Amino acid sequence: MSLLKRLRATWRPDEFHGWGRTKRYFEGWYFKVVSPDEQQALAFIPGISMGEGGEQHAFVQVMDGKRCQAQYHRFSAEDFKPANRHFEVSVGGSVFSGEKLKLDLPDLSGEIGFSDKTPWPKMLGAPGIMGWYSFVPFMECFHGIVSMNHVLEGALKIGNATVDFSGGKGYIEKDWGRSFPRAYVWMQTNHFDTHDRASLMASVAHIPWLGSYFIGFISGFWLDGQLFRFATYTGARKYLKISDEQVELIFKNPKTELRLLARQAAGTALHSPISGEMTGKINESLQAAIRVELLQNGRRIFEGNGRNAGLEVAGDVAILQ
């Protein structure tokens, strides 16, 4: 029965994939919410951790991107309850789904609903952002996009203050597998100075493969209802240059080119998985800035500066360049 549930979930990246898993496995969802005045930028990461020896626990990480603070709320594995046949996960008294998040945490409570969601489109042989790699059973880490961009409705009580997120913007993605990559770059934003209906996600990572490895990448730029894809499996090419101050990243398809220049900013440490255990550390910022240019047939069709941007530069990134 667990195998059938996992096979079904292959076609639904947003749902829980860990049916029947007992060790060396993690799964987590990433909910980013930004208030309409952009004074609050938070990320909530609910998930499950299963270590080498079978030790298990559930968790909810909370990241305050403006104050550069993070909290790790640990729960028993029995407190992690995924729904069957649709995306909804409860951890303790908190509930997370594609429709809303409801928080019941120390000094943090409330509910935010999501509307006008922008899911990654499914295609024949490509159920999600990973394309046909979604069907490779030995991948170290799988990635999924639940919604590139959506509108928020609701409020949170943070400490003694109530913050209204209605009219703000959100983003949801997820990861599952054994470990985060040995080295990777990830960036995301859906706040631009020149356009209100645009959203970016891009990642480059070290991917173990049959005793060796390759440098894989996936990126989507959503603009006015159209998604521009750049990925290893599309035959795109990439250029990456990393310094202490910035990350320059260029993707090229035969007819389209995406140019990104991300400027690093203050961040905070988050827990990350190593062989299923949340013992790793990564640094993430929600204050980065990303310059984005999109060209089609040599003509620039978008140019803008993204703000409230998520940015992670993790591991031995020299191998990515």
Structural contact between residues 123 and 171, judged by C-beta atoms closer than 8 angstroms = no
183-189 and 299-315 as β-strands: parallel, antiparallel, unpaired? Answer: antiparallel
Q: Does residue 187 carry a pLDDT above 90?
A: yes
- What pLDDT shows up at residue 8? 86
pLDDT (tens digit per residue) in 290-314 = 999 999 999 999 999 999 999 999 9
Q: Does residue 158 carry a pLDDT above 80?
A: yes
- What pLDDT shows up at residue 262? 98
Exposure of 125 in the CB half-sphere (CA atoms within 13 A): 3
Structural contact between residues 46 and 59, judged by C-beta atoms closer than 8 angstroms = yes
- What pLDDT shows up at residue 214? 95
At 5, the pLDDT band (50, 70, 90 cuts) reads: confident
Closest CA to 180 of 14, 30, 4, 11: 30
Closest CA to 144 of 71, 192, 201: 201
b/e per residue, 258-291, with b = 16+ CB within 10 A? bbbbbbbeebbebbbbbbbbbeeebebbbbbbbe
- What pLDDT shows up at residue 126? 86
| 7-16: average pLDDT | 91
| 30-41: average pLDDT | 98
Phi, psi of 214 (to 5 degrees): -140, 165
User: What are the residue ranges spanned by the domains of the chain?
Assistant: 2-320
Q: Could you tell me where the DSSP H helices lie in 75-149?
A: none
User: How much of the chain, in percent, has pLDDT values that exceed 70?
Assistant: 100
At 174, the pLDDT band (50, 70, 90 cuts) reads: very high
3-class SS at 319? Answer: helix
pLDDT (tens digit per residue) in 52-88 = 999 999 999 999 999 999 999 999 999 999 999 899 9
- What pLDDT shows up at residue 157? 98
Q: How far is CA 267 from CA 64, 70, 143, 148, 270, in A?
A: 9, 10, 22, 22, 10
213's tokens: 């490895």
- Give one word for 99, left, alpha or beta, with left for phi > 0 and alpha for psi -120 to 50: alpha
Q: Does residue 36 carry a pLDDT above 80?
A: yes
- What pLDDT shows up at residue 80? 98
d(CA 8, CA 92): 26
Q: Does residue 93 carry a pLDDT above 80?
A: yes
- What pLDDT shows up at residue 137? 87
CATH 3.90.1200.10 fits 2-320, yes or no: no
Q: How far is CA 104 from CA 15, 47, 110, 299, in A?
A: 22, 15, 7, 49
